[in-house]
Amino acid sequence: VTLHLNPISSVHIHQKPLVFLLNSPLPLVWKLKTERLAPGIRRVFFVSLGSVVQFEKGNFSLSAEMEEKLFPEKNEHLLQWAQKEYGAVTSFTELKISRNIYIKVGE
């Protein structure tokens, strides 16, 4: 699955840390495609067991982290866990089948 990340239209370059929880019932390879995300900013990708994130070559991969995590099975439990762990969830998306996911990051 390719995860396309770019800032919302009102933000020229996104310069804040990001945390993503990428959960799948089957192990996946998450391929990252990014545009206009500032280098050197911490971005963390938690993936379900057996999954991996393939970062693009370049500065983005130097400040990005990937960690495998055992997530709660049901989405409502995952959402509750994320809110407890991080204090807020700004976006939650559930897809049954997809090859490309487009996410706009920003305020």
- Examine the pLDDT at 46 and tell me if it is beyond 90: yes
Q: Please give the average per-residue pLDDT across 76-96, as a whole number.
A: 90
Query: What tens digit of pLDDT does each residue of 48-84 get?
Result: 999 999 987 766 777 889 999 999 989 999 999 999 9
Six token digits for residue 10: 């009102």
Q: Report pTM.
A: 0.90
Residue 6: what are its φ and ψ, rounded to 5°? -150, 160
CA distance 78 to 66: 18
- Examine the pLDDT at 25 and tell me if it is beyond 70: yes
